[in-house]
Structure 1
Amino acid sequence: MDEVNLQWIQFLLTVMAQNHLMDCQLYEFHYISEEKTWTEAQQYCRKKHTDLVTVISMTDMERLNSNSQRGIKEAWIGLRDETNAQRSWHWSLPGVEFNENETNWETKEPNDLPPGGQNCGIIWKDSPHFLKWGDLSCNEKHNFLCYSENDSSQKYHLIYDSKNWMEAQSYCRQNHTDLISGKKQLQDGEVNNGLNLATANSKYIFIGLFSDTWMWSDGSSFSFRHWNLKFDNQRINSGQCAMTVFDDGGRWRNESCDERKPFICYDDKVILISEKMNWLDALTYCRDHHHDLVTITSMDDQRWIQEKVKNASTYFVWLGLRFHCKLKFWSWVCREAIAYRTQATQTSGRTDNCNMSGAMETGGRHMWFQRNGGEEHNFICSKI
């Protein structure tokens, strides 16, 4: 089994995202000025569109802000704090999923001590607990670790200002990418050896780990949150709903779900097909019944498709990615796309077999693999 080089994938996505002629949008937003309760808004969206909007990243927030309608100052989104729901742990950085089998909790952690519980994650800076995880109140003030996705010289930053968890998240997103997230980042040698965590002036160091009971209306598990700085994750917010406030940079505020407000729906432009087909038959099916096999042009697209493939019945799902043997390049089938071309030598796998197509694994890290086009898998179609 040949795994496509991850750096090549990220480079491919970056180049494609910069191509202004690429227009294969996977979901669309719709602003509804009519004021409704959150439940009424949910019913409206499910009837006329797909659901109340799900927001998966800061890129989505920028889209929502830039396209907001005049006169709409705030609007319901699809996030609700379910009554009596059990808290779940999440990572702050979009695309990093919390996995119970990949943790580094200290013994007897998390312990959720009273009063009010402990809903945010920390690491210890000193032995014998060095780099072990624990839980603390989100309202305590500590130093914290930021992650910079696009800084090749220094990916991680120890911030010596003491802030509560929400303030720390806001700082990291404004000045870097996000709070450090995921076991892989926390075990990076740059964190262990390069930052000298012992110099932190607080006993604990906040990381991008938090727990809450908020759930998206469409049932997706995206962990992105964009609360205003007054939001208190230590409080019980059962039965409340989230809105985006446009004159506060789109930051979210929680309100009673019975309040009447404008709202935002979305249309899902992709669909998982549970039938098993080879790549060419999958392409034909998508073009006959929908639009095309799916094209992924950004990391947000990748995350959107990752959520879809969790419901697949095969280990891989076909994407609209095809290797052209004679010309030695990969291209997408999206009809609006101008294909980015790269030499086959830039992939880690062999491409001497001309019947090769791209597929995403449905578990694990949702990596892309080059697979024989004659294999039969589920697939993702894009819709008009």
Structure 2
Amino acid sequence: MAQTLYFPLLLIALCSISECVQRQYHFINENKTWTEAQRYCREKYTDLATVDNMNDTIQLNKSVNDVRLWIGLQRKWQWSSGDPELFLNWESGQPDGKDECAFMRHGKWHDGKCSDTWFVICYNMSRGLVFVNQTMNWRAAQSYCRQNHIDLVSVRNQNESQQLEKFINDSIPSRSDVWIGLFRDWQWSDQSNYSFSYWNTNEPNNYGNNENCTVLKENTNGHWADISCDCQFPFVCHEDKLIVIQQNLSWSEALRYCRQNHVDLVSVQSVEMQYKVMNVVKLASTGAVWLGLRHSCALGIWFWVSGQTVCYQNWAPGNGTSEEDCEPTVRSGAVQSGGDQTWISRPETDRLNFICRNY
């Protein structure tokens, strides 16, 4: 059995409002397919490695320059609206792996060149499906729908597929092909934004129309190459020091969850830690996110559940006073997931996402 080697690579925290690296990398010297590696990393750590910037690349390259290994970047089909791809309705033999955008023909999906021009179906919150009676390429169709409606149409289940097919038949007598909001692009396994790339020369090339996963290519200073997901290589996992839990729990439930599954609710004791919180809180699905911040009605003070006093403060105006209204429930602290991402006081019974720390 292959020996497993662990090389923790503690990254330098590059703290700015837009970017703050807060990961620990672990090199796993076992040969696995990309999917097997992803499963291993999610069970043992956080996920297959995300590489956000040159600092990540340099740190990885220092320790594992002479071996080809998986990272968490995969080319996959996704909806323009961000809806999860749970329902599949491809025509037989589709997708063939050659193209990146999807259209609907006779009720079935086909992949095609994004530069092709077809009619368009948008989705509007109040009107539902909207037929656009002009042809355009997929990117232009996406832009048009986002500017004038909500987005290109998503198809999330069999019922929506049948409704869309009927709408097309009623709206377009010739039953022409129409763009839907499905497209294929690179995506990180942990759902991080794909904004940084470091492809090797002439990569990605999708050789054989089947190269949908990514390796750090050996002896290329950390450059990437696309390759079949069925190949077997060692891999790199990452472990987030801060993690947003997208479950809506009360403050007490969130505290219990973090202590049972991680270490604790996060404490924010400096502007550097606030930047780290600001970097991860954008992943939340609620307008505010619980911190490990609690108000004592008896003492009239705020404190961190880690036992630290509140030295650094980032309260929104009108929040964080010592004279909190303790009726009908105790107040706890949360960080806004939008705007200036300042702290606010909320009843502990509110149900929000929350941030756990893994250290």
TM-score by length of 2: 0.49
Q: Kindly indicate whether structure 1 or structure 2 has the higher relative contact order, using CA contacts under 8 Å at least 6 residues apart.
A: 1
TM-score by length of 1: 0.46
Larger-Rg structure: 2
